[in-house]
Amino acid sequence: MTSAEIDNEIRTTEKRYRNRVKRDMTELELQQYLVRNYPKEDEACEWKEFKNLKNDFNGHEKDDVISYVSALANMEGGHLVVGVVDKTLEIVGTDTYNYDVQKARLRLISQCTNLPSEGLLVEEFITSDTNKTVWVIHVPKHLKRQPVYAHNKAWQRLDDSLIEMTDSRRSAILEEQDDAAFDWTAEVIDDATTDDLEPAAILKAREGYKQRFP
């Protein structure tokens, strides 16, 4: 993004993020909230300590924020919870360095090639009793036929590991079809017979076929 585009993005999203910092929960209440809303790690949710975002935001490939955002986006999208212990969701907090949620969002867009901006949100929680900071990054799904890259590589989650995108997953993304271009009539349904169709539907299909192929 150019500097002018970044300035415009900041202005247009500033109001949206004004209430993204939440300070009304104690550490225990925040942990209960996280357990309730993000109860397990899977392809749609990651829990990471990342104690210092100066080094962990864009640091070592495969083990930083942008790599995990790429992996989540390359599946169905999801959530990255930052500032908690993996497996237990114990809150340790993260040092956000000089980032606020707007800067973090814009840097994600600039560092993760093809990452959609629509649906990309960063929530910041600061516990009222222990002053610990937790981020929840809401990551949108990749755009059709556009894998999301970090460190010039596309990432995905496989079981409990983060790996470079497999050939099969890359092919699945690159071969995605636009909804308007999808021809459901060309799909084969196993074990289906004419008994499964309404007579009126068969008649309508025959009329349509005659119009297309007179």
Note the pLDDT of residue 17.
47
Note the pLDDT of residue 211.
75
Three-state secondary-structure class, residue 51: coil
Note the pLDDT of residue 86.
86
Let me know whether 144 and 188 are in one domain.
no
Let me know whether 142 and 193 are in one domain.
no
Q: pLDDT (tens digit, 9 = 90+) per residue, 36-72?
A: 999 999 989 999 999 999 999 999 999 999 999 999 9
Let me know whether 184 and 151 are in one domain.
no
C-alpha span between 29 and 130 (Å, rounded): 12
Let me know whether 186 and 165 are in one domain.
no
Note the pLDDT of residue 10.
45
Let me know whether 118 and 189 are in one domain.
no
Let me know whether 90 and 105 are in one domain.
yes
Helix, strand and coil in the chain, % to nearest 5: 40, 20, 45
Q: Quote the number of domains for the chain.
A: 2
pTM comes to 0.76
Note the pLDDT of residue 18.
47
Domain that holds residue 22: 3-174
Note the pLDDT of residue 195.
77
Let me know whether 170 and 185 are in one domain.
no
Note the pLDDT of residue 82.
98
| Tens-digit pLDDT string for the chain (214 aa) | 555 654 555 455 444 444 457 878 999 999 999 999 999 999 899 999 999 999 999 999 999 999 999 999 999 999 999 999 988 899 999 999 999 999 999 999 999 999 999 999 999 999 999 999 999 999 999 999 999 999 999 999 998 899 999 999 999 999 998 876 556 566 777 777 777 777 777 777 777 777 777 6
Note the pLDDT of residue 12.
53
Burial of residue 155 (CB within 10 Å: 0-12, 13-18, 19+) is buried
- Give every CB contact of residue 152 below 8 A, 6+ residues apart in sequence: 113
Let me know whether 17 and 69 are in one domain.
yes
Let me know whether 126 and 186 are in one domain.
no
Let me know whether 185 and 90 are in one domain.
no
Note the pLDDT of residue 184.
59
99 touches 53 (CB < 8 A): yes
